[in-house]
Structure 1
Amino acid sequence: MAFNTGLSGLRAAAVDLDVTGNNIANASTVGFKGSRVQFGDLYASGFLSGGSNPIGDGVNVQNIEQSFSQGNVSFTDNGLDMAIQGDGFFILNNGGETRYSRAGQFTIDKDGFVINNQSMRVQGYTADDDGNLSGVRGDLEIATDNLAPRRTTNLSSDLNLDSREFVLESRVRDFASLGFSTINGEEFEVEYANGDPATPVQLYDVDNLGAQVPFTRASQIVNRIDAISGLSASATTTASVPITDAVVAAPGFTFSIEINGSPLNVDPTNLSTIQDLSDAINRSDNTSISAAIVDDGTGTDELRIIHNQGENLSVVVNGGAPITAEGSIEVTADRTVTGINGTGGPGTNLADEFAVSPVRITNAFNPLDQRTYNHATSTSIFDSLGNSHELTQFFVKAPSPGDGVGVSEWSVYLQIDGELVAGTDVTPYTARFDQDGVLQSVDGDANGEILVTDWVPRDADGEPNGADGPPLPGETVVTPIPEPPTTSAFVLNLGDTTQYGATFGVNDQRQNGYTTGRLSGLDVSNEGILFARYTNGQSKALGQVALAAFNNTNGLSPVGDTSWVETFESGQPIIGQPDTGTLGSIKSSSVEESNVDLSAQLVNLIIAQRNYQANAKTIETSDAVTQTIINLR
């Protein structure tokens, strides 16, 4: 009996030594879970007869149980290394066999699949080409090919337009038909819309005796008008001279010009064409006069002489009758002028002429002239081939509608690569703001959307570059642009734009297009989502790691390579996404270390050694007693 008891103790102590040694050997194994031996005593008993004081028969090993407690998480340099913080196992495909592991040392094989050190493929939820995760589980694959480009279908601009900006349009009233000599002695006053006092004006001079001296030249009237606050004026004199090359080339040709009675020296010799004559006038010392050959509207060329200060001109050809010209006047209203009231004087009434004279905008919008717009901002958009194009938004403050109380408006122009689009080459969009500076609408659209449907993507030479172009005539375009897009149409959303009394600023500007990109890196989120980073600044979900949990984790069967397989005792796996339910989260660029406590294992080693020696002593003692009995005579 004592021999059997000692032998069972030796066997149990040897198993304890083996398990402890295995724990010590794997103290640095990633994802390893330490084990412990569970012992049970042995008693010999018959059916219905256990005895009152039975003597034990030794010890047996009941179970070797693994401890699935959390190991320490340490950081690594590998972006695909993962550690599970909490419950769960990675799911591995070992050539069709499903294994479970806590060791998250992963890499990519030649085919792009995520694998562990034994080339087992990591299982997870796959994603489509747009990065949308599905519920389908399979081998996680990292696509290493280029990211396909995406055309811009939506651009959102969050801007503030400075409400303190002035209306830039300069409106000119053209008095070309108003002879200046007919308004000598005219008196009038200028009224302003902003309530400033009216400015009186007298279009005559006074001599030493107090008599009115009439102005005889347009330049004199211009100087008087130009001195008025809110008005500016200019004058030009144009003399049209019908003349032919034959006249100029004829012998004895003579030509003279007088400016307010002062002759301009023009050498008429050695001239054979009217172009020669024009060049001779332009070579004169008087820089205020110029000449050019123009079509008179009937297909016949004529010589046009211009004095840019509005002085009187007198031109004589071959001693004939003088061709005279008086200056014409243009008045620019730099401030808002409501009217000009005449108070008397001879000739044509300037007040009446002001009301009916044609109006021209001298600084109409020009994207090349910064003086014709208040604000501008540019951003990049992309066509279907991934080519980048520059979209510029121009904002021009417009006169307020009605009485200007509680509402204000801005004109919006759009330009792509130097070409005006969205029809703004003809008519701009109108953005209307309320009294609080909040956008009410853009051309009546309460969402502040502008649909661009006339953009043709072009290359650097201005030719179509092969990308998708505008919708076909009659094709209906809806917003938002449905996926997948088939044209170059896109939506500009100005819904968040404001008009406050603050400096113009771009708070945010986002568009959903991008050019092609190469894979530059990988990131893993706490939910186990694998994000690919590309050289174009984009990122896309490639898949999500799946985790498995078991009702009875201790029922799993270890099969080596720091992995386990499902058994009847473990139950079926509960599979889901990390950080959901009872499943733990994922720590990227990290691994879970072995949960073996090396100090405790060394102590266990000493205890197992002592137990082994003690059981061996039991056998030795039993042997000595038996030898004594054998030696009896």
Structure 2
Amino acid sequence: MAFNTGLSGLRAASVDLDVTGNNIANASTVGFKGSRVQFGDLYASGFLSGGTNPIGDGVRVQDVQQKFGQGNISFTDNGLDMAISGDGFFILNNNGEVRYSRAGQFSIDKEGYVVNNQNMKVQGYTADEDGNLSGIRGDLQIETANLAPRRTTNLQTDVNLDSRESVLEQRVRDIGPVNVSAIQGETFSFQYTDGSADYQVAIPAGADAREAAGLIDGAAGVSASASTTALLPTTLNDTYIQNAQAAGNFTFSLNIGGAPLALDTSPAKVNSLETLANAINNSSETTISASVVDEGSGPQLRVIQSRGEDLTYSFDNGSGTPTTATLQGDVNVTTDRSIAGVTPISGTTNFADAYTASPIRITNEFNPLDQRTYNHATSTTIYDSLGNSHELTQFYVKDPSPGNGVGQSQWSIYMQIDGELVAGTDTQPYTALFDQDGQLESINGDPNGEIIVTDWIPKDATGAPNGADGPPADPTSVVSPIPEPPTSSAFVVDLGNTTQYGAAFGVNDQQQNGYTTGRLSGLDVSDQGVIFARYTNGQSQSLGQVALAAFNNTDGLSPVGDTTWVETFESGQPIIGAADTGTLGSIKASSVEESNVDLSAELVNLIIAQRNYQANAKTIETSDAVTQTIINLR
């Protein structure tokens, strides 16, 4: 009996030594979980009764139980190394056999699969070609091919336009010259774009150009001036003057508004048209000037009076019939964009007709090459269907406030790609309206603030089309957002978040969804186990997500070597999900979970197991000595 008892103790102590030694041997094994031996005593008993004084039959090993406590997490320099912080196991495909492991030392095989050191493939949720994760579980594979380019279909621009900026562009009408004789006795009125009251002008019947210009100039948004030009007939020439001076009967006079101009026309001073012009210019009247011109009929004397007063000239060579004429002045009027129109009230309609016939002239017109013609500009890079980059620049030009200027502001928007205006802004800019709070109301009537560019032809550096998709055949069919897959170069510029505050111009955000071709440059793993590929074009894309498995009875798993376990009846079926969801732990990238073996404790356990073994051996030795004593009896 004592022999069997001691022998059972030796066997139990030996198992204890084996387990402790295995723990010590795997103290540096990544993902290893230490084990401990659980003992149970043995007693002999009958079927119906255990006896009154049972004596134990020794000890047996009831179970070798693994301890699945968390091991320390240490950093590594391998981006695909992963450690689980919390509950869960990696799922591995071992040629069709499913295994579970806490060892996250992974790499990529020649086919791009994520594998462990034994070439078991890591299982996870796969992603489509656009990086969208699915619920389908399979072997994770890293796609090493180049990332195909994506054309720009949407550009979001969030800017603040400075409401304090001044209006740079002026649109004016130049009316005239209108001879005062055509509008004498006429009454008309100016209308305004901001709804202000009409301004009425009445030109007296006997008014000269100077008086008429003064009356018109009183209107807001209107600038008027007057001048009188006299082009004397060609009969007054050098020969005429010389003959008349030789005969002593040359006379010449000028009256300005009925007042004679003092001139020295003596033969010593005047003997040609040029000297006559000099005599006029040397007079004391500063509002008059003279010059000799030739408009095809021969030299003529031209006299200009800068205030628009009536101008009367007379000259004679003693023939007794002087040449005399009185000329009335011309009115020149310039109106700015605040003038909506001119309405005749009484008399003739000559001034209103002249306004209608006058073209609009733009001063300081928008020019993308001249920074003085726009208030703000911002640029960003967009991409065509081939992945070629192009520079899109948005120009903002402040306009006069619409209506009466209260509660609303207006800006013009121009767009340029690689130096060429697009979106039709070469002929007509887009108009952005803002309310009294600086919020965008609409762009060309669209409350969403979107501009759809449908006329862009991608070109190369020489200015020739580069072979990428061009404008749609039917621009009116383009809708926002651009449907996938896109089939043209059309894209949407979203300015819905644009504001107009009294603060400096600033680009708060600017994002577009296109990119050029990219090569794989690195991998990153998130706490949720999502594997991101980084590309040389600055893009990143999800390639898949590592799946984790948990069990209701982790102790029921069966170890099968290579730091892996398999499912058993006792463990129950696995509960599979993404990392950091439910009861599953999170994943730490570029890290591994160390063995949870406490080496100091194991060394102590080793001493205890050794003494247990020695003590049980002593039991056998003592029993042998007693037995030998009995044998030696005679």
For the superposition of Structure 1 and Structure 2, which TM-score range results when normalised by the shorter chain? 0.7 to 0.9
- 2:542 aligns to what SS in structure 1? strand
- 1:575 aligns to what SS in structure 2? strand
Q: Is 1:532 aligned with 2:548? A: no
Give the aligned residue type for 1:314.
V
Q: Equivalent residue for 1:208?
A: none
Task: Tell me the distance in 2 between the aligned counterparts of 1:445 and 1:36.
Answer: 74
Which string of whole-angstrom CA distances, capped at 9 and with x for unpartnered residues, describes residues 110-146 of structure 1? 2111111111111100000100001111111111111
1:358 CA drift (Å): 2.4
Task: Tell me the distance in 1 between the aligned counterparts of 2:522 and 2:381.
Answer: 24
Q: Equivalent residue for 1:487?
A: 488
Q: Equivalent residue for 1:151?
A: 151
| Structure 1 residues 72-471: aligned runs within 5 Å | 72-174=72-174, 177-178=177-178, 261=277, 314-316=292-294, 320-322=298-300, 358=358, 360-363=360-363, 364-471=365-472
Q: Conserved in 2, the CA contact under 8 Å of 1:411 and 1:430? A: yes
Which string of whole-angstrom CA distances, capped at 9 and with x for unpartnered residues, describes residues 176-200 of structure 1? 53469999xxxxxx99999xxxxxx
Q: Conserved in 2, the CA contact under 8 Å of 1:170 and 1:332? A: no
Which string of whole-angstrom CA distances, capped at 9 and with x for unpartnered residues, describes residues 225-282 of structure 1? 99x99888999999xxxxxxxxxxxxxxxxx99799369xxxxxxxxxxxxxxxxxxx
Q: 1:257 to 1:11 in 2, by over 3 A?
A: farther
Return 443-452 or 370-379, whichever deviates more.
370-379
Q: 1:103 to 1:159 in 2, by over 3 A?
A: same
1:362 CA drift (Å): 3.0
1:167 CA drift (Å): 1.9
Q: 1:544 to 1:257 in 2, by over 3 A?
A: farther
Q: 1:115 to 1:499 in 2, by over 3 A?
A: same
Q: Conserved in 1, the CA contact under 8 Å of 2:44 and 2:56? A: yes
Q: Equivalent residue for 2:309?
A: none
CA RMSD of aligned residues (A): 4.2
Q: Conserved in 1, the CA contact under 8 Å of 2:209 and 2:227? A: no
Q: Conserved in 2, the CA contact under 8 Å of 1:432 and 1:441? A: yes
Give the aligned residue type for 2:400.
P
Segments of 5+ residues of structure 1 without an aligned counterpart are 184-189, 195-212, 216-220, 239-255, 264-309, 341-347
1:465 CA drift (Å): 0.8
Q: Equivalent residue for 1:21?
A: 21
- 2:477 aligns to what SS in structure 1? coil
Return 546-555 or 396-405, whichever deviates more.
396-405
Task: Tell me the distance in 1 between the aligned counterparts of 2:30 and 2:299.
Answer: 112
Q: Conserved in 1, the CA contact under 8 Å of 2:293 and 2:302? A: yes
- 1:608 aligns to what SS in structure 2? helix
Q: 1:259 to 1:617 in 2, by over 3 A?
A: farther
- 2:411 aligns to what SS in structure 1? strand
Work out the percentage of aligned pairs sharing the same amino acid: 74
Whose Rg is larger?
2
Q: Conserved in 1, the CA contact under 8 Å of 2:72 and 2:595? A: yes
Aligned length: 550
TM-score normalised to structure 2 length: 0.77
Give the aligned residue type for 1:436.
D
Return 123-132 or 501-510, whichever deviates more.
501-510
Q: Is 1:504 aligned with 2:505? A: yes
Q: 1:474 to 1:80 in 2, by over 3 A?
A: closer
Q: 1:231 to 1:401 in 2, by over 3 A?
A: closer
Give the aligned residue type for 1:6.
G
Q: Equivalent residue for 1:523?
A: 524
Q: Equivalent residue for 1:472?
A: 473
- 1:394 aligns to what SS in structure 2? strand
Q: 1:379 to 1:621 in 2, by over 3 A?
A: same
Q: 1:618 to 1:424 in 2, by over 3 A?
A: same
| Structure 1 residues 59-78: aligned runs within 5 Å | 59-78=59-78
TM-score normalised to structure 1 length: 0.77
Which string of whole-angstrom CA distances, capped at 9 and with x for unpartnered residues, describes residues 189-236 of structure 1? x99999xxxxxxxxxxxxxxxxxx999xxxxx9xxx99x998889999
Task: Tell me the distance in 2 between the aligned counterparts of 1:402 and 1:260.
Answer: 55
Q: Conserved in 1, the CA contact under 8 Å of 2:174 and 2:335? A: no
Q: Equivalent residue for 2:627?
A: 626
1:544 CA drift (Å): 0.1
Task: Tell me the distance in 2 between the aligned counterparts of 1:388 and 1:260.
Answer: 70
Which string of whole-angstrom CA distances, capped at 9 and with x for unpartnered residues, describes residues 590-633 of structure 1? 11111111111111111101100100100110111111111112
Q: Conserved in 1, the CA contact under 8 Å of 2:528 and 2:545? A: yes
Q: Equivalent residue for 1:295?
A: none
Q: Conserved in 2, the CA contact under 8 Å of 1:174 and 1:359? A: yes
Task: Tell me the distance in 1 between the aligned counterparts of 2:337 and 2:425.
Answer: 26
Q: 1:214 to 1:150 in 2, by over 3 A?
A: closer
1:478 CA drift (Å): 1.6
Task: Tell me the distance in 2 between the aligned counterparts of 1:182 and 1:89.
Answer: 99
Task: Tell me the distance in 2 between the aligned counterparts of 1:50 and 1:356.
Answer: 126
1:329 CA drift (Å): 9.1
Which string of whole-angstrom CA distances, capped at 9 and with x for unpartnered residues, describes residues 436-456 of structure 1? 111111111111111111111
Task: Tell me the distance in 1 between the aligned counterparts of 2:590 and 2:522.
Answer: 13
Q: Equivalent residue for 1:280?
A: none
Task: Tell me the distance in 1 between the aligned counterparts of 2:487 and 2:15.
Answer: 71
Task: Tell me the distance in 2 between the aligned counterparts of 1:80 and 1:623.
Answer: 61
Q: Conserved in 2, the CA contact under 8 Å of 1:174 and 1:329? A: no
1:369 CA drift (Å): 2.1
Task: Tell me the distance in 2 between the aligned counterparts of 1:313 and 1:372.
Answer: 38
1:164 CA drift (Å): 1.5
Q: 1:99 to 1:329 in 2, by over 3 A?
A: farther
Q: Conserved in 2, the CA contact under 8 Å of 1:381 and 1:389? A: yes
Q: 1:84 to 1:315 in 2, by over 3 A?
A: same
Q: Conserved in 1, the CA contact under 8 Å of 2:171 and 2:337? A: no
Q: 1:549 to 1:147 in 2, by over 3 A?
A: same
1:589 CA drift (Å): 1.1
Which string of whole-angstrom CA distances, capped at 9 and with x for unpartnered residues, describes residues 485-533 of structure 1? 1111111111111111111111111111111111111111111000111
Give the aligned residue type for 2:507.
V
Return 493-502 or 366-375, whichever deviates more.
366-375
Task: Tell me the distance in 2 between the aligned counterparts of 1:319 and 1:445.
Answer: 60
Q: 1:483 to 1:317 in 2, by over 3 A?
A: closer
Q: Conserved in 1, the CA contact under 8 Å of 2:84 and 2:585? A: yes
